[in-house]
Amino acid sequence: MNEIDPARRFSIDAVRKFDSPASGDNLGGMNDVARQVASQYRRDTMSPIMVSGVLRMVEFALLFLSGLCVYFYYVGFFSHLAWQYPLTIAAASFLAVVLLDVTDCYQVVSLMRPLANFGRLLLVWAGTFALMALTAFAMKMSEDYSRLFFGTWFVVGFMLIFGLRLLMSKLIRRWARDGRMERRAVIVGGGTAAEVLIRSVEKQPYNDIRICGIFDDRGDKRSPPIVAGYPKLGTVSELIEFARIARIDMLIVSLPLTAESRVLQLLKKLWVLPVDIRLSAHSNALQFRPRAYSYIGSVPMLDIFDKPINDWDSVAKRAFDIVFSIVGIIMFLPVMLVTAIAIKLDSKGPVLFHQKRHGFNNEIIEVYKFRSMYTDKADPTAKQTVTKNDPRVTRVGRFIRKTSIDELPQFFNSLFGSLSLVGPRPHAIAAQSHNLLYNEVVDGYFARHKVKPGVTGWAQINGWRGEMDTNEKIRMRTEYDLYYIENWSLLFDLRILFLTPIRLLNTENAY
């Protein structure tokens, strides 16, 4: 049998176009037990990837600073090799971190067992010095270096690394006990297959997976209410609401790959969530290339969807938002002050307009705008779309809406974290098109909320801004938003940010 690429089998397009009456956007009402369980997992957790990444930086800094201290002690501040030693120390520290990474010393399993990895740590640190000595010999520079310095640094550096890892081992175990460092998973599909999967995951040593419950559309006769000690919390539609409350990292679909129709039916509901979606492959007869799998311990999983902008990407994007939000506030502060004065002189009421909109993972956020309507005619829910020559809009309001100056206070939203600078534009919670909510018009509409919404976005610079008076317009805006999510990068954000002022000169759809 020819191998079937799982990425092709379960592509986003295949899931979205799958002909099924079920819709992932219609939320079911959770039962009390599910709601109580969800409330226990509201708090964010620390990602193991982030923890190991920070540890890499800390160990590099520790080795570099310890090497400098030893150098200053034995050689002095004003040696004729003042530049050469620090450069060598930095290179050796970096090499040590790289070798520790290559030998899997930053895996959580290794971090939790420092004593068992004592020999590997010593070998890596010794190998670093051996490579340094070999390089110095090849470059005929070995006589320039102090053997006493390197011997002392070898001992001090290793003691610091090993001591840090003893401390990290205790911290990681405490974080795991407290639920602060774990990957939270929900099993989709019950019965025997789910039980086998759960038992396999639980057998993995030093497992960081916490199973929060099981969701299955089948009744209790075909899918028992308790599987391997975990409760069935509801149906797959109710799982959508559960994942809006609880901070879930992963959904594991426990169904055979051969049940393609049912798997697609489930994915059609679930792909709108900002989580990793994995298909359990431990009991599948079909075999794929090893690189097609990810693993929980030794349990193979097929990667169906990945959470977008995760881990270090999210750190980079947040730093991007903070820096450019501050720059934007400084640049546009005179414009904002003049606008505030003009609004006050033009009509009675507050300068700012606060509107509730859908944010990341469908959370309700409050977005700031300059008020552009008469106070007694304002529509906080945006149920009635603003149209051309709308009598509710003030004279100043028409100008600031057309030029998008009314959106400038959202730089503060981005700085405080409820918005990102670039992302899908947040819509009001009751926004409608022809008396239908947007999610009733567009299949998979809530997938826009897999990332934090933005002050500007890919749809806006491509002309899909302003009045959404037809179903086609909201569909096209959603298509562009999903393209952005699937192709995100910092360079893409920069491109959108710098194109925004140029594209805003086209005011055709802004009223």
What was the pLDDT predicted at 509? 57
What was the pLDDT predicted at 167? 96
What was the pLDDT predicted at 383? 64
Q: Whole-angstrom Cα distance, residue 446 to residue 379?
A: 23
Q: Whole-angstrom Cα distance, residue 451 to residue 418?
A: 11
- The tokens for 288 are 């794929």
Q: Which segments within 147-208 are labelled E, that is strand?
A: 183-188
- Tokens 């002095």 locate to 76
DSSP three-state, residue 388: coil
Q: Whole-angstrom Cα distance, residue 197 to residue 204?
A: 11
What was the pLDDT predicted at 282? 64
Domain architecture of the chain: domains with CATH: 6-45+182-307 (3.40.50.20), 48-178 (no CATH), 312-505 (no CATH)
Predicted TM-score (pTM) of the model is 0.79
What was the pLDDT predicted at 21? 45
Give the chain's residues under pLDDT 50.
Answer: 1-10, 20-28, 511
What was the pLDDT predicted at 6? 42
SS3 of 430-489: CCEECCEEHHHHCCCHHHHHHCCCEEECHHHHCCCCCCCCCHHHHHHHHHHHHHHHHCCC
SS3 of 262-324: HHHHHHHHHCCCCCEEEEECCCCCCCCCHHHEEEECCEEEEEEECCCCCCHHHHHHHHHHHHH
What was the pLDDT predicted at 79? 55
- Residue 462's alpha-carbon distances to 243, 400, 410, 451, 500, in angstroms, are 32, 20, 20, 19, 9
